[in-house]
Amino acid sequence: MVLAIRLFHYCLDVKNRAHAWRALHHANYRVYFAGQAISILGNWVQQVALGWLVYRLTGSAMLLGVTAFLTQIPQLVVAPVAGIIIDRSNIRRLMILIQFSMFLLAVLLALITYFDWIQPWHILLVAAFFGILNSFDVPLRHAFTSQLVTDRQDLPNAIALNSLFFNIARFIGPPLAGLTLSLTSEALCFALNGVSFLVILVVMMSLKTGAQRHSQATFREAMQEGVKFIRGSVPVRLLLIQVAVLNFLAANYIPLMPAFAREIFHGGPNMLGTLLGCAGAGALCCSLSLAARPSVRGLSGAITQGCLLTGLALLAFALSSAAWLGGIMLFLLGFGMVNGNASSNTILQTILPEHLRGRVLAIYSAANLGAAALGSLLSGALAEHLGPALALAVLAAILICASLYFYSRLEWLRMYLRPIYASQGITRQKPRGQEIK
């Protein structure tokens, strides 16, 4: 009820509505925004179809976890190297190369599924390749946003809008995938993802960006510089730890959704799409709320609140026996996860120096998706032995405890952020030191 009232007031507030879309005044970002929305929609359609295909072929909750693990684990290994390459490359050209590679992979997956040549090992191999490409794609998207939005004051809003269109796709994609699966097959879902990559390729080739400053350090020096920076920056280190814990313990619910839809709620593809759509709706509402914020101030507390809400909602979902109650809990879970992840991303992009952006955002991607990969493997193994409900309940309880610890350290994080915000003119406080060097 409180959330509904807040959204109602937001819709009536014309000033907030205009403020929420201010980054779209940048023409390049506006075009990119539209293309990315379609591309991410295709990604969600494929992700749901891939999980359903694995469970249809094998009936194994463990393989659901392994598939998600292979999709995301390259973030831990490849992302740090990808960050160095990004800082030394033309971001636009590298993005075109990565998107074209993902297009070819989606078309290949659609063809072998359509002709019924698909085997479980094919899915695992494709998942691993997508994971490697995503290790470049995710930090590239984050870094490219800062090139398209020339006014630094609009950058937090652009980051919030990135989260918004990701979650619009997350809201629409799973139900669309469920409908497509119930009417045709997984092959069409994969083909739709291929088409979405074509759209973003056309958009990327049409964009013109200004000159980009590249890192001149050697590969080893660049790696050492990135590690030294993260170790020496208390707020960056704390933010990365919170993101890693949140995604390790909570993002694992997604690969287990086919098992919940079929075994616990006794549904099919439409049930799967509806459940994931509920999480997407919560994520979308949170994204709207974040986009309307006038500045980055106060987001450090939103991270802790998001972690706690996610843990409580995940525990309640694990204990649900009715689909309608599970849907409500997934709505709250989606809201909480975006509150934690998007708030962390916004703070990071606000305080990062430009020459280290690619490297640190790659580590952020590793903390986000890489930790989720390890969590997916763990949740799949637990679900195989304890059942999916008990597996999620155990992980949710751990997340609740971790959230309470993060809350106890919140003022410490704020103490380090205040002088950085002051040095950038975000707050009126005079800086007493400089944490980011």
- Band (pLDDT 50/70/90 cuts) for residue 149 is confident
pLDDT band of residue 399 (cuts 50, 70, 90) is very high
Q: What 3-state class would DSSP assign to 1? A: coil
Alpha-carbon distance of 141 to 159, in angstroms, equals 10
Average pLDDT rounded to a whole number, residues 171-183? 84
Q: Is the Cβ–Cβ distance between 72 and 373 less than 8 Å?
A: yes
Whether the per-residue pLDDT at 430 is higher than 80: the answer is no
Cα dihedral sign for 236, 419, 433, 142? positive
Evaluate whether residue 88 is within a structural domain: yes
Q: With a cut of 50, say whether residue 39 has pLDDT above it.
A: yes
Q: Give the residue numbers spanning the domain of 262.
A: 22-208+217-423
Residue 7 falls inside a structural domain:
no
Region label for 220, one of left (φ > 0), alpha (ψ between -120 and 50) or beta (otherwise): alpha
User: Which pLDDT band, with edges at 50, 70 and 90, does 3 fall under?
Assistant: very low
- What does the DSSP 8-state code read for residue 215? P
Domain assignment present for 431: no
Query: Are the beta carbons of 181 and 49 closer than 8 angstroms?
Result: yes
Percent of the residues in the chain that have a pLDDT greater than 90, as a whole number: 24
For residue 419, being part of any structural domain is answered with yes
Token digits of residue 272:
């799967």
Query: Do residues 383 and 62 make contact, with C-beta atoms less than 8 angstroms apart?
Result: yes
Comparing CA positions, the residue from 12, 13, 93, 38 lying closest to residue 294 is 13
CB-based contact 431:417 (threshold 8 Å): no
Domain membership flag for residue 13: no
- Residue 94 belongs to a domain: yes
Rounded to an integer, what distance in angstroms lies between the CA atom of residue 10 and that of residue 18? 11
pLDDT digits (tens, 9 = 90+) for 97-114: 999 999 999 999 999 999
Amino acid at 114: Y
Percent of residues in the chain assigned helix, strand, coil, to nearest 5 = 85, 0, 15
Q: Given this model, what pLDDT does residue 165 score?
A: 76
Q: What confidence category does residue 216 fall into, taking pLDDT thresholds of 50, 70 and 90?
A: low
The greatest distance separating any two alpha carbons of the chain, rounded to the nearest whole angstrom, comes to 66
User: How far, in Å, CA of 274 to CA of 269, rounded?
Assistant: 9
Both tokens of residue 9?
């007031």
SS (H, E, C) 89-106: CCHHHHHHHHHHHHHHHH
Name which residue leads in pLDDT, 226 or 433: 226
Exposure on the CB side of residue 180, measured as CA atoms within 13 A: 24
Per the domain annotation, does 416 fall within a domain? yes
Nearest-CA neighbor of 365 among 9, 71, 106, 158?
Answer: 71
How many Å apart are CA 269 and CA 226, to the nearest integer? 44
User: Residue 428 — very low, low, confident or very high, per pLDDT cuts 50/70/90?
Assistant: low
Give the C-alpha separation, 412 to 405, whole Å: 12
- Greater confidence (141 vs 128) lies with 128
Quickly tell me which residue has 């995301």 as its tokens.
Answer: 72
What's the pLDDT score for residue 134? 86
Instruction: Of 54-58, 97-101, 259-263, give the range with the top mean pLDDT.
Output: 97-101
Nearest 5 degrees, angle CA 16-CA 19-CA 20? 85
User: Which CATH number characterizes residue 376's domain?
Assistant: 1.20.1250.20
Report which of 33, 41, 135, 35 is spatially closest to residue 94, judged by C-alpha positions.
135
Indicate the number of domains in the chain.
1
Of the candidates 429, 408, 411, 412, which has an alpha carbon nearest to the alpha carbon of residue 420?
429
pLDDT at 319 (0 to 100): 92
Q: Which of 363, 361, 339 is nearest to 142 (CA)?
A: 361
pTM above 0.95, yes or no: no
In this predicted structure, what is the pLDDT of residue 213? Answer: 54
Report pLDDT digits (tens) over 335-379: 999 999 988 888 888 888 877 777 787 788 778 877 887 887 788
Residue 11 lies in a domain: no
* Whole-number Å distance between alpha carbons of 165 and 83: 24
- Report the pLDDT averaged over residues 137-162: 77
Q: How much is the pLDDT for 114?
A: 92
* Rounded Cα distance, 211 and 266, in Å: 55
